[in-house]
Amino acid sequence: GAVVSQHPSRVICKSGTSVKIECRSLDFQATTMFWYRQFPKQSLMLMATSNEGSKATYEQGVEKDKFLINHASLTLSTLTVTSAHPEDSSFYICSARGGGSLSYEQYFGPGTRLTVT
């Protein structure tokens, strides 16, 4: 089946620093990648959608200058949390969707636990 990886799985950073999270589709080409955020005991909230080679589309209330998304290739998307604050501490999950027979399903990465101190 389709596999999506994320790196790192956990990261602790100091307030004011930036953190980059990578999302890779390992065995398929991801035409679209999604970034979600999940706070404890809450559901996944879509942050942004990105298509390879074009700018990401951000959901309402998500600051595009704070959460930088790059989808430079069909197998890699990155999310950079800039000037992180403790309230950015959350579980960040990426998801990828391919084309053709893979186009109906989204495959999720294992998530990245970000803690900002």
Partner 1 sequence: GQNIDQPTEMTATEGAIVQINCTYQTSGFNGLFWYQQHAGEAPTFLSYNVLDGLEEKGRFSSFLSRSKGYSYLLLKELQMKDSASYLCAVRERRQLSFGAGTTVTVRA
**Interface residues with partner 1 (CB under 8 A)?**
32, 34, 42-46, 49, 91, 93, 95, 97, 104-111, 113
Nearest approach, Cβ of 79 to partner 1 (angstroms)?
Answer: 14
Q: How far is residue 19's CA from residue 42's CA, in Å, rounded to a whole number?
A: 23
Nearest approach, Cβ of 81 to partner 1 (angstroms)?
Answer: 18
Q: For partner 1, which is the closer residue by CB, 57 or 83?
A: 57
Q: Which residues, 6 or more positions from 93, have their beta carbon under 8 angstroms from its beta carbon?
A: 6, 35, 36, 37, 38, 44, 108, 109, 111, 112
Nearest approach, Cβ of 34 to partner 1 (angstroms)?
Answer: 7
Residue 67 · residue 81 · CB < 8 Å: yes
Q: For partner 1, which is the closer residue by CB, 2 or 82?
A: 2
